[in-house]
Chains A and B, each alone.
Chain A
Amino acid sequence: GNSVTQMEGPVTLSEEAFLTINCTYTATGYPSLFWYVQYPGEGLQLLLKATKADDKGSNKGFEATYRKETTSFHLEKGSVQVSDSAVYFCALTPRAAGNKLTFGGGTRVLVKP
């Protein structure tokens, strides 16, 4: 079946530190991959996406590269801010079921000033 595995949090960082959140997936074929972010008290919103191997998604200083060889989609940001404190979810839509969206467990990130 389709599944997404993320590193468990919480991840606590100081402002301006480098952030990496690991995400690996299992899917039939080549899925589309997404990172969603949930700020405190809010619903999820799309952060970035990648639709084929070697694609790089980017937004708000965050980047993630679709790695088919390692079935990974790790999220990175070079210099985090306090406002980046949130829960981050990796997700996929499988090619064979374009209406499904499967999420990982989420990683809570706390950035301290």
Chain B
Amino acid sequence: NAGVTQTPKFRVLKTGQSMTLLCAQDMNHEYMYWYRQDPGMGLRLIHYSVGEGTTAKGEVPDGYNVSRLKKQNFLLGLESAAPSQTSVYFCASRGTGGMNTEAFFGQGTRLTVV
């Protein structure tokens, strides 16, 4: 029962480098989310998806792109990393059972941009 799996768990990037974070869920959930967690800021929504082939912007989308080519995967890309993108990134998924439905989270990716 894997749930939500994020890869990698840790990464150090140099400014200007690119990378892709992968989120995979095995619960057949329609909704998937990418959040970033920063000290004193809680979780802020970067992008989300309401189904395969769809994506939408959240609160802090600038500098990130996403893709949902397969229902079980949600990719977060950084085209040109900046130190301000140093953060812990969490992926989550959620079923379509309504507004009371629980969200399931991955264990996070700690990204440092130097």
Residues of chain A touching chain B, judged by Cβ–Cβ distance below 8 Å, are 6, 8, 31-32, 34, 36, 41-46, 49, 51, 89, 93-95, 98-106
Contact = CB atoms under 8 A, between A and B. Distances in A.
A43 B106 contact: yes
Interface string B29-52: 001010100001111110010100
A102 B108 CA distance: 18
B100 interface: yes
A103 B43 contact: yes
Interface residues of B, number: 26
Given A42-B107, A43-B105, A101 B92 contact: yes
Most buried by B among A31, A99, A105: A99
Given A42-B108, A49-B102, 16 more contacts: A32-B99, A36-B103, A44-B43, A44-B92, A45-B104, A49-B100, A89-B43, A93-B100, A98-B99, A99-B48, A100-B45, A101-B92, A102-B45, A103-B42, A104-B42, A105-B40
B99 A95 contact: yes
A48 B90 CA distance: 20
Given A43-B4, A105-B41, A98 B98 contact: yes
Most buried by A among B4, B42, B50: B42
Contacts of A8: 40
Nearest first, the 6 A-B pairs at minimum CB distance are A43-B105, A105-B42, A98-B99, A103-B43, A93-B99, A44-B105
A105 B38 CA distance: 9
Nearest to A102: B45
Contacts of B43: 44, 89, 103, 106
Contacts of A51: 99-100
A20 B31 CA distance: 32
A61 to B, nearest CB: 19
A101 B33 contact: yes
A45 B105 contact: yes
B11 to A, nearest CB: 16
